[in-house]
Amino acid sequence: MNKVILSGRISNDIVFRNTGKTDGVLFSIAVQRNFKNPEGKYDCDFVNCKAFGNTADFINNYFKKGDAIELEGRLDVSMYEKDGKNVYSTSVLVNSVEFAKGNKKDENQAENGQKSDTSQEEEFEFPF
């Protein structure tokens, strides 16, 4: 089973793309680890994510850098060639998203039941 569930904050500006077939977004999220490092601080992992179709439109319209987000998807490993060498990248192909606690707009949107839940079957390649 290939299933990923993450909760974190969007760590960069969301990149919106349209290929004519479908809309797509690229972004990364910072996911805080649940233990402290030797300096007594929490480290973060930065995870590249991509979404398509209605989910991409939803993310593009309702989220921005710094917003808390919860997402569900699957790992997607892709390969591309750079300078004659194969480069592999791993990202999360997002199937659904929800507002996470910590956003100023959470209360209004959560009360209205706004969330996105669509499956992603179309492929849309972005090298990271």
Residue 111: give its domain's CATH number.
2.40.50.140
Range of the domain at 63: 4-117
End-to-end Cα distance, the chain: 24
Is residue 125 domain-resident?
A: no
Q: Is 84 left (phi over 0), alpha (psi -120 to 50) or beta?
A: left
Is 37 contained in some domain? Answer: yes
Mean pLDDT of the chain: 85
Percent of the chain exceeding pLDDT 90 equals: 73
The tokens of 41 are what?
């601080």
- Quick check: is 122 in a domain? no
Tokens of 99: 């507002």
At 103, is the pLDDT very low, low, confident or very high (cuts 50, 70, 90)? low
On whether residue 94 sits in a domain, the answer given is yes
Judge whether 127 lies within some domain: no
Residue 20: burial class (beta carbons within 10 Å; 0-12, 13-18, 19+): exposed
What was the pLDDT predicted at 58? 96
Secondary structure of residue 57 in the 3-state scheme: helix
Section 90-101 average pLDDT: 94
- How many Å apart are CA 109 and CA 120, to the nearest integer? 23
pLDDT tens readout for residues 52-79: 999 999 999 999 999 999 999 999 999 9
Q: Is residue 54 one of the residues assigned to a domain?
A: yes
List of residues 6+ apart from 38 with CB closer than 8 A: none
Q: What is the pTM of this model?
A: 0.74
- The DSSP secondary-structure symbol of 113 reads T
H-assigned helices in 5-119: 53-62, 106-111
Q: How far apart are CA 47 and CA 23, in angstroms?
A: 20
The number of distinct structural domains making up the chain is 1
For residue 50, being part of any structural domain is answered with yes
Q: Please give the pLDDT value at position 72.
A: 98
- Domain-located, residue 55: yes
